Structure 1
Amino acid sequence: MRHRAPYSAARGLIRMSWNKYNLYNLVKRELPQPSARKTLYQQRWEAKRLTRNYHGDRVTERRWQALSITSQLPDFANMPPEAKAAAKALALRPTIASLTYAALERRLDTVVFRCLFAPSVYAAKQMVRHGKVKVNGRKLAYPSYNLKDGDIITVEPSAIQMLSGEAGTDMEYTPKPYSQPFHFLPEYLEVDYTTCSAVFLRAPVSRPGRSEVPSPYPPEMHQLAHEFYVRKRG
Structure 2
Amino acid sequence: MSWNKYNLYNLAQRTRYPDHGRKTIFQQLWYAKRETRAYHGASLSEKRWRKLFKSVLPAADTATATQKPGDHPHAAALMYGDLERRLEIFLHRALFADSVESARQMIRHGKVRVDDKTLRYPSYLLEPGQLVSVDPHAIAMLRGKEGTELSYHPKPYSQPFHFLPDYIEVNYRTCEAILLREPISRPGRVEVPSPIPPEVHGLAHEYYVRKWR
TM-score between the two structures when normalised by the length of structure 1: 0.82
Partner of 1:160: 139
- The SS at the match of 1:176 is coil
Listed one character per residue, the Cα deviations across residues 195-232 of structure 1 (whole Å, up to 9, x for unaligned) are 01101111100111110000001111111100001111
Q: 1:70 aligns with which of 54, 57, 64?
A: 54
User: In the aligned structure 2, how far is the partner of 1:186 from the partner of 1:204?
Assistant: 9
Equivalent residue runs for 1:171-210 within 5 Å: 171-210=150-189
**1:31 and 2:10 aligned:** no
Question: 1:28 deviation in Å?
Answer: 2.6
Give the percent of matched residue pairs that are identical in Structure 1 and Structure 2: 57
Cα pair 1:32 1:46 within 8 Å, conserved: no
Question: 1:72 deviation in Å?
Answer: 6.2
Equivalent residue runs for 1:37-76 within 5 Å: 38-65=23-50, 67-70=51-54, 73=57
CA separation of 1:194 and 1:210: change in aligned 2, threshold 3 A: same
Larger Rg: 1
Partner of 1:19: 4
Question: 1:35 deviation in Å?
Answer: 1.5
Instruction: Give the alignment's Cα RMSD to 1 decimal.
Output: 1.7
Cα pair 1:109 1:143 within 8 Å, conserved: yes
Structure 1 portions without partners, runs of 5+: 1-15, 75-86
Partner of 2:100: 121
Question: 1:171 deviation in Å?
Answer: 2.1
Structure 2 portions without partners, runs of 5+: 59-65
Higher relative contact order (Cα pairs below 8 Å, separated by 6+ residues): 2
User: In the aligned structure 1, how far is the partner of 2:187 from the partner of 2:42?
Assistant: 28
Q: 2:69 aligns with which of 85, 91, 98?
A: 91
Cα pair 1:107 1:143 within 8 Å, conserved: yes
TM-score between the two structures when normalised by the length of structure 2: 0.90
Question: 1:168 deviation in Å?
Answer: 4.6
CA separation of 1:195 and 1:109: change in aligned 2, threshold 3 A: same
Number of residue equivalences: 204
- The SS at the match of 1:63 is helix
